[in-house]
Amino acid sequence: MPNILIIDDDTAFCQMLQKFLAKKGYDVVAGFSAPDGKREFNAQNFDVILTDLRLPDYDGIQLLSDIKSSNPSTAVIVMTGYAEVGSAVQAMKKGAFDYISKPFTPENIVAIIEKAIKNKDNPTYRANPVENDSISQKDIGPNTQSTSENTVKGTSTASKQLEEYVMLVAPTDMSVLITGESGTGKEVTARAIHDNSNRKNFNFVAVDCGSIPKELAASEFFGHIKGSFTGAVEDKIGNFEAANGGTLFLDEVGNLSYENQIQLLRALQERKIKRVGATKEIKVDVRIITATNEDLLVAVENGLFREDLYHRLNEFLIHIPSLEDRFEDLQLFAEHFLIKSNNNLNKKVQGFSEEVWEAFRRYHWPGNLRELQNVVKRAVLLTTSDEVQSDALPKEVLQPGQSSSATLHKFSKSEFEKEQIIKALQKTNYNKSKAAKLLQVTRKTLYNRINHYNLDL
């Protein structure tokens, strides 16, 4: 019977986890402090040790080192809070098998424990291997807080709902339509759906529909045979064939021409495609995920997008919240991008100064997560000290809306946003569609913010 040691100062949580794992057939011992845990693992060998990184009486990373020194073959799984990405990455470098963020589901922790036990005879094995003592966010496995290389799970209500929707729809074969402002991470969400689906062992193929000329769309989607048109110098596999068995992600699907929409609809209905110039049909099994920052219903009403295709694509709708709508996650995202930037640029910047945090909190972030990532990466590149200072930030972040520093301190975030909405409406003669474009938000978001601030316009 595999034996497990749990080290956590949260007595109630520790006892609950102990009882759950005991019911699963494990021999479980609990230690409610680092000294308790050290006595236990020095007295006997454990197959797996679950330890909280944040202990009041001992450094969690040092405890990990103590465990590995006592018995290198013991698989250590560290438990972290949402905002402890940096500590978890450090733990992985020090030899942790894996890490999992609280709160976690019983199924997730059991899956990690079983994987650890399965590989306990290979002491150099890690769920997320580290090469040359260098780790990036993409090395962190799917059972932890990272959904992909480019984002982490937030703790805000909006982020939690997004995660719930992803986990709900992922195991199905439903077509998913993802909406949201530019830069919110629509492709990241699509990948998260794929990675948590039954198709995860097959290809995820991403296509930017806005970059495909309509004359070449059929070839891109379905492929072509040599000589079928000028420039077709060899046979080519299309996106549908490449994604067969997996997921095809069509970004900015609203940019497809009407003719291309018809071709796409036919492929989805028949689950068969025909390469350009070929006579033989090919069966394909592909899950479709699409994304847009446009209002496709308006496009349908205006005759620019087929209604039957819209309903075919929109079996399940997921709206990605803007960074504003999950503003309480700002620090978590910024720290995650700091880790990524350090790895990409081979830097060792430790954090942000208080002045930088103040600027981050004041700024509107119209470019959402993409803009935040770019700002952080630029700042890390310019930083020569341990902390990012305000002089490493671009002017628009330090002085949003060209406001003076006195004005910046005067207005809260909500007051600043309200002022920007009023200015945009005045500048566009109260044309809400034009104002939304000026603010780089959707019309729906603008209407919601107008109602939120009770603007009588």
Over the stretch 316-363, which tens digit does the pLDDT of each residue have?
A: 999 999 998 888 889 899 999 999 899 889 999 999 999 999 999 889
How far, in Å, CA of 445 to CA of 457, rounded?
16
Does residue 148 surpass a pLDDT of 50? no
pLDDT at 194: 94
- Determine which of 24-38, 240-254, 267-281, 412-426 has the lowest per-residue pLDDT on average: 412-426
Which CATH architecture fits 324-406?
Answer: Orthogonal Bundle (1.10)
- pLDDT of the residue at 409: 40
Q: Please report, for the chain, the start and end positions of each structural domain, with discontinuous segments joined by +.
A: 3-144, 151-319, 324-406, 413-452
The residues, any chain, with a CB within 8 Å of residue 302's CB and separated by 6 or more, are none
How far, in Å, CA of 388 to CA of 12, rounded?
39
Bridge partners for 248 per DSSP: 205, 288
Residue 175 in this model has a pLDDT that exceeds 50: yes
* pLDDT score of 142 more than 70: no
Domain 3-144 has CATH 3.10.20.440: no
| Res 411 pLDDT > 60 | no
For residues 291-308, give the mean pLDDT.
91
pLDDT tens, 207-237? 988 888 888 889 899 999 888 887 777 888 8
Q: Tell me what the pLDDT averaged over the chain comes to.
A: 83
Contacts of 299 (CB under 8 A, 6+ apart): 254, 305
The pLDDT tens digits of the residues spanning 370-397 come to 999 999 999 999 999 999 999 999 998 9
Distance CA 448, CA 444 (A): 6
Dihedral angle over CA of 141, 147, 148, 149, nearest 10: -80
- pLDDT at residue 293 in the model: 87
Dihedral of CA 91/93/94/95: which sign?
A: positive
Q: Identify which has the larger pLDDT, 142 or 152.
A: 152
The pLDDT of residue 60 is 84
Pairing of strands 272-273, 282-283: antiparallel
pLDDT confidence band for 133 (50 / 70 / 90): very low
Q: 413 pLDDT band (50/70/90 cuts)?
A: low
More confident residue, 249 or 406: 249
Same fold, 151-319 and 324-406: no
| 204 band by pLDDT with thresholds 50, 70 and 90 | very high
pLDDT value at residue 126: 47
pLDDT of residue 136 exceeding 50: no
pLDDT of res. 121: 55
- pLDDT at res. 423: 79
Q: Considering Cα of 447, then 451, then 453, then 454, what sign does the dihedral take?
A: positive
Rounded CA separation 132/252 (Å): 39
199 versus 436: which is more confidently predicted? 199
Say what the alpha-carbon torsion angle 129, 131, 135, 140 is, to the nearest 10 degrees. Answer: -20
Mean pLDDT lowest for which of 98-102, 198-202, 273-277?
Answer: 98-102
Q: Show Cβ contacts of residue 48 under 8 Å, excluding neighbours closer than 6 positions.
A: 2, 3, 4, 5, 74, 75, 76, 77, 97, 113, 116, 117, 120
The CATH architecture of the domain made up of 413-452 is Orthogonal Bundle (1.10)
Element (H or E) spanning 299, and its range? helix 296-301
Mean predicted confidence (pLDDT) in 274-279: 90
What is the structure's pLDDT at 453? 78
Residue 291, Cβ density class (10 Å: 0-12 exposed, 13-18 middle, ≥19 buried) = buried
Its CATH class, for the domain covering 151-319, is alpha beta
Contacts of 121 (CB under 8 A, 6+ apart): 73
Quick one: pLDDT band at residue 26, thresholds 50, 70, 90? very high
In this structure, how many other beta carbons lie within 10 angstroms of the beta carbon of residue 129?
A: 10
**Residue 144 above 70 pLDDT?**
no
State the Cα–Cα distance between residues 70 and 46, nearest whole angstrom. 10
Q: What pLDDT is attached to residue 414?
A: 64
pLDDT bucket at 452, cuts 50 / 70 / 90: confident
Tell me the average pLDDT across 189-200: 93
Residue with tokens 């207005």: 411
Q: What is the pLDDT of residue 131?
A: 37
